[in-house]
Structure 1
Amino acid sequence: MAYVQHRMTEIPGMRIHSVETKKYKTNTIVLQLKNLIKEDSVTKRALLPNVMQSGTEKYPSSKQLRGALDDLYGATLNVDLSKKGNYQIISFRMDIANEKFLSDQSKLLDQGIALLADVLLRPVTENGAFKEDIVSKEKRSLKQQIESIYDDKMRYANKRLIEEMFKGDPYHLNVYGNENEVDQITPQDLYAYYQEVLANDEFDFYVVGDISHDEIVNKAKQFFVFNEKRAAGQSIEKNEAVEVTKVNEVIEEQDVQQGKLHMGLRTYTTYADPDYLALQVCNGIFGGFSHSKLFINVREKHSLAYYAASRFESHKGSIFVMSGIETANYEKTVSIIKEQLEDMRNGNITDDEMAKTKAMIKNQILETVDDAAGLVEVLYHQIISGYERSIEEWINGIDRVTKDEVVEVAKKIKLDTIYFLKGRGNENGTKTV
């Protein structure tokens, strides 16, 4: 039996996805808006969703819109921004009670979808633009969000690593945009960009719950009516294989107590590639879990780091190593991190490491798809990559990964950039650039 009963139907302007399950007493509705991340629009795109969810023609203020959600048995509406590969994704998520479990048999699902359609297609406006007070309020919030990255040194180091590693590549852009551009955005500018989003973005609409696929398709056709013809057709951004000729080392000084050492590696493998599952196991053994080589050797054995881990971006084909260290330990930590990858290339991987990593990955997958929002996230990987991999194929494929396959994928990995944020006045024999 399949883990997930996922069906997809294309209608004018969008793709409709459903997962029919009796597991939940709520229905989760997610609308994903996909487009390339671009220098000239990244900040407007970051601002847009919060402005859109601040009011509709029918409910022209945040208070009235929240009141309408409360009337739907406490439904919730949230927006999110994410960067997947070279795409800047806007997500609207609504959780709403399933009317089948209520004594009042009101058409909650219809009302919920209608409200979400209003947020997308009929946001509140005045004089042919977004309302000045809403835009001003959300601009302040966005600036605070961007500024908060500087205060969180782990996030800041990750941001700086990506900026250095991907210079000239759209991926270097921060998903929340550029703080210096926020004040320049007018309600008219933002509304003009909103019109571009309606015309050019790819829309994917997901509903997870005790529902019928055909019913969801009919409701989507009823409520999501676009003024202009839109094609739901899928565009896939292919990564260029960037050859590493020299490791880029960047060292920055700030008033920090704990140094942040972040390293970027190119894997030349993405979600759609045949050796993706081997890479997933490879990263798990390298630094993905508490039994991984980075954690055991850098943190536990040598006591060099407060934390040491790695994660990978499956659509960009990159692994990012993160660790918090004393400045004096910089060179030794870099050396030991490199040794762990070299060990894997040389086949120094135990059966226990393979077994524990596979078990952890499978548990992660099952935990993720057990949550409705997590399940949508997993299914959306297929849209981003243009490659379908069922949950069954994923789990069974992890089981089949061999040590030799992990070694081969490790051999492809190349260190690209080292970024180190160190405290002022801490000399360790390295040159600040």
Structure 2
Amino acid sequence: MELVKEHLVEKSGFTLHIIPTEKYKTNTIVWKMKAPLENETATYRALLPNVLQSNSKKYSTTSAFRSYLDELYGASFYTDVSKKGEFHIISFTIEVANEKFLQDKTPLLQRAIEFLSEVLQNPNVTNHEFDEATMQKEKRSLKRRIQSLYDDKMRYASVRLVEEMCKDEPYSIQASGEEDKVDEITGAALFEYYKRAFKEDKMDLYIIGDIGLNEVENFCSVFQYEERTNPSHKNSPEKNVTKVKEVRETQDLNQGKLNIGCRTNISYGDSDYFALQLFNGIFGGFPHSKLFINVREKESLAYYAASRVESHKGLLMIMSGIESGNYEKAVSIIKEQLKLMKEGSFSEEEISQTKAVIQNQFLETIDSARGVIEVFYHNIVAGTEVEFTDWIDKTNSTTRDEIIAVANKVTLDTIYFLSGMEGENV
């Protein structure tokens, strides 16, 4: 496996991560901003990057903004908001061709970095207010995105499970914000929040490609921010489950959504994190897993059945689509598979197969520039240092007993069932 190294440079107000590699013919630039998940700021943070990516002071219309990107050999630029554990992450990404591979030697990397600087530091603001037309357009778009979450019942069930399971914890807050809070955000209020975020957030700039260290560092002198002390925010304390919560909801839909949340109290960087990944792979993470084979294939109870780990919050989520009448049986079989994992009822072949799939999945992830950045960024979120080689070496060295020990840490917390109207009396 080719080892990818990141070179860290502490700049004023942000950390620069330079990742030289000859693997790609493009250069990828990602600016990340991390802050605690909070009800008061979530909708502001969901709206802000979309307003910033719409135009700037220099490129004051969307067409001028996009035309300049076209001049950079069709560079792509997009934003994203997400949550990792109880942190709210804003990302700005530019992908641009590497001029080394072009006859035209326009300094595309430098221009792309300067463009990102323009977007972040010179917004389309007049009299301390964001442009009103831009605000209205992006507020409508944000409300549509939030609404689409509720229209997609698979995603809706996942959201509702988290809301119920983590009711008094920041993790229950949605990264996309709340629809009923969008309209109250004014251009002036968003500009005030913009100043606060760029003053307080933990900010990291990643640049990956066939690039020179000194050259990139010089290009990044265009970013000027105040020094800051980034307070160490931690996830909510581990939670001991005393009683499994059961929540049922009915809507007009054809297929019931059975989602179950468990506490693992294991997070990224913990000594048993890779054993948790193996547990999840055998239990429900892959097509050869117990949930897929027993709930979906053997019993034909589910249209889909799978599980996933939330790496920074210590949760395991089980997702399945079932007929409403199969609720009791499906819950029973899922519980039985978890019990079998705790008892160590899985074969050496299942362990070997899962190790191979996890390693292949990891290698596939780091095959893309964005994937490499995401793996590195896990360390920023977790405040730890997991090496790329750990994904291969520690996965390989994990034992059956370590997987069983992790299985016995997994505790059922909340069962959420969204059924069709015919399921009201289930």
Q: Who is 1:216 aligned against? A: 216
Does 1:278 find its partner at 2:284?
A: no
Query: What is the CA-CA distance between 1:91 and the residue it aligns to?
Result: 0.4
Query: Could you say what secondary structure the match of 2:257 adopts?
Result: strand
Q: Who is 1:65 aligned against? A: 65
Q: Who is 2:184 aligned against? A: 184
Query: What is the CA-CA distance between 1:326 and the residue it aligns to?
Result: 0.3
For the 8 Å contact 2:26–2:209, the answer to whether it is kept is: yes
For the 8 Å contact 1:328–1:427, the answer to whether it is kept is: no
Query: What is the CA-CA distance between 1:428 and the residue it aligns to?
Result: 5.1
Q: Who is 2:94 aligned against? A: 94
Residue identity in the other structure for 1:53: Q
**1:188-199 paired onto structure 2 within 5 Å:** 188-199=188-199
Residue identity in the other structure for 2:130: F
**1:345-424 paired onto structure 2 within 5 Å:** 345-424=342-421
**1:16-165 paired onto structure 2 within 5 Å:** 16-165=16-165
For the 8 Å contact 2:250–2:424, the answer to whether it is kept is: no
Rounded Cα–Cα distance in structure 2 between residues aligned with 1:218 and 1:235: 29
Q: Who is 1:207 aligned against? A: 207
Q: Who is 1:225 aligned against? A: 224
Per-residue deviation, residues 195-248 of structure 1 (Å, max 9, x unmatched): 11111011100011000223222221x21012xx22264734244111100001
- Relative to structure 1, is the Cα distance of residues 232 and 65 closer, same or farther in structure 2, using a 3 angstrom cutoff? farther
CA RMSD in angstroms, aligned pairs only: 1.1
Q: Who is 2:296 aligned against? A: 299
For the 8 Å contact 1:265–1:318, the answer to whether it is kept is: yes
Per-residue deviation, residues 23-79 of structure 1 (Å, max 9, x unmatched): 111100000011111111111110000001111111111111101100111111000
Residue identity in the other structure for 2:343: N
Rounded Cα–Cα distance in structure 2 between residues aligned with 1:20 and 1:198: 27
Rounded Cα–Cα distance in structure 2 between residues aligned with 1:236 and 1:183: 30
Query: What is the CA-CA distance between 1:425 and the residue it aligns to?
Result: 2.7
For the 8 Å contact 2:165–2:413, the answer to whether it is kept is: yes
Query: Could you say what secondary structure the match of 1:321 adopts?
Result: strand
Query: Could you say what secondary structure the match of 2:15 adopts?
Result: strand
* TM-score normalised per structure 1: 0.97
Query: What is the CA-CA distance between 1:8 and the residue it aligns to?
Result: 1.2
Q: Who is 1:248 aligned against? A: 245
Rounded Cα–Cα distance in structure 1 between residues aligned with 2:375 and 2:319: 24
2:341 to 344, 358, 363: 344
Query: What is the CA-CA distance between 1:118 and the residue it aligns to?
Result: 1.0
Residue identity in the other structure for 2:213: H
Q: Who is 1:317 aligned against? A: 314
- Relative to structure 1, is the Cα distance of residues 183 and 427 closer, same or farther in structure 2, using a 3 angstrom cutoff? closer
Query: Could you say what secondary structure the match of 1:40 adopts?
Result: helix
Query: What is the CA-CA distance between 1:349 and the residue it aligns to?
Result: 1.1
Does 1:425 find its partner at 2:422?
A: yes
Figure out how many residues of one structure are paired with residues of the other and give that number: 426
2:263 to 263, 266, 279: 266
Q: Who is 1:12 aligned against? A: 12
For the 8 Å contact 1:328–1:428, the answer to whether it is kept is: no
For the 8 Å contact 1:53–1:123, the answer to whether it is kept is: no
Query: Could you say what secondary structure the match of 2:4 adopts?
Result: coil
Rounded Cα–Cα distance in structure 1 between residues aligned with 2:308 and 2:229: 32
For the 8 Å contact 1:265–1:320, the answer to whether it is kept is: yes
Runs of 4+ in 1 over 3 A off after TM superposition: none
Q: Who is 2:167 aligned against? A: 167
Per-residue deviation, residues 145-190 of structure 1 (Å, max 9, x unmatched): 0100111000000000000000111110111111111111111111
For the 8 Å contact 1:305–1:326, the answer to whether it is kept is: yes
Query: Could you say what secondary structure the match of 1:370 adopts?
Result: coil
Residue identity in the other structure for 1:416: D
* TM-score normalised per structure 2: 0.98
Residue identity in the other structure for 1:118: E
| Consecutive unaligned residues in structure 2, runs of 5 or more | none
Rounded Cα–Cα distance in structure 2 between residues aligned with 1:167 and 1:92: 30
| Consecutive unaligned residues in structure 1, runs of 5 or more | none
Query: Could you say what secondary structure the match of 1:380 adopts?
Result: helix
For the 8 Å contact 1:289–1:295, the answer to whether it is kept is: yes
Rounded Cα–Cα distance in structure 1 between residues aligned with 2:236 and 2:125: 39
Rounded Cα–Cα distance in structure 1 between residues aligned with 2:287 and 2:365: 19
Per-residue deviation, residues 303-359 of structure 1 (Å, max 9, x unmatched): 100000001110001010000000010011001001111101001010111011100
Residue identity in the other structure for 2:330: T
How much identity, in percent, do the aligned residues show? 51
1:331 to 328, 331, 338: 328
Query: Could you say what secondary structure the match of 1:269 adopts?
Result: coil
For the 8 Å contact 2:235–2:313, the answer to whether it is kept is: no
